[in-house]
Amino acid sequence: MSEHISKQFDADLEAIRSQVMGMAGLVEEQVRLAMQALASGDVAIINKVIDQETQVNQMHVKLDDMCVHMIARRQPAATDLRMVMTVIKSVEDLERIGDKAYRICKRAKNIYESGRLQVPRFHDLNHIADLALDMLSNALDSFARMDAVSASEVIRADAQLDQEYQALHRQLITVMMEDPRSITLILDILWIAKAIERIGDLGVNVAEHVIYLVKGQDVRHKTQEEVDRVALQ
């Protein structure tokens, strides 16, 4: 009987992990499609991301429910409990990333409905989106492989994203000052740039959760050197 329970416990944990990766894949697609929508104004893409938001929310609720039942029925301890807590925290971050993608699409729709044919500084905007997506993808890969070292590299990458974001922010402010007619549009672009930067921050959150899962130490608010030290232990 104990062997059966152990196998079922492993199966339950694997089911949760599988659901997390499914949600993660959908959220990554949302962000990529949101940037495509921003580049093209394609209404079909915008509507697809909006529809995916409902799916992401449903997956979030389902995973929370699976984790609550896991705790109630299995009473996990040690690494197993950390796995469940990591999932609860990570899916919250994933849902917030999906929400950012949804709102980027809403802004894109407003921009193109106002008659704009292109987005100022889109190349730079797309560049920071690529950085944020790489961070998110690597954080999720570190979760799948339970790799604390690669998770620490995601945290390190946040400094570059912040620098690129600040540079773009200054450029957009300059454009707005030079052409007051662009203020409404540039405010939308500034919001989108901040949303992208936040996606990177949420990817960092996932990476921090992974290090907690693997090493049993909370590295939030730690210096990069402290994070690296824990990851390499």
Token pair, residue 13, equals 């944990």
Residue-level pLDDT at 93 = 98
Residue-level pLDDT at 117 = 62
Q: Vertex 131, ends 150 and 114: CA angle to 5°? A: 150
Residue-level pLDDT at 2 = 40
pTM: 0.92
DSSP category for residue 221: T
The domain that holds 11 is classified in CATH as 1.20.58.220
Residue-level pLDDT at 3 = 45
Residue-level pLDDT at 21 = 95
Low pLDDT (below 70) residues in the chain: 1-6, 117
User: Among 15, 101, 3, 103, which Cα is nearest to 59's?
Assistant: 15
The answer to whether the Cα torsion of 64, 66, 68, 70 is positive or negative is: negative
Q: Which domain holds residue 63?
A: 2-232
pLDDT in tens, 6-42: 688 888 889 999 999 999 999 999 999 999 999 888 9
Q: Vertex 151, ends 146 and 155: CA angle to 5°? A: 160
Q: How many distinct structural domains can be found in the chain? A: 1
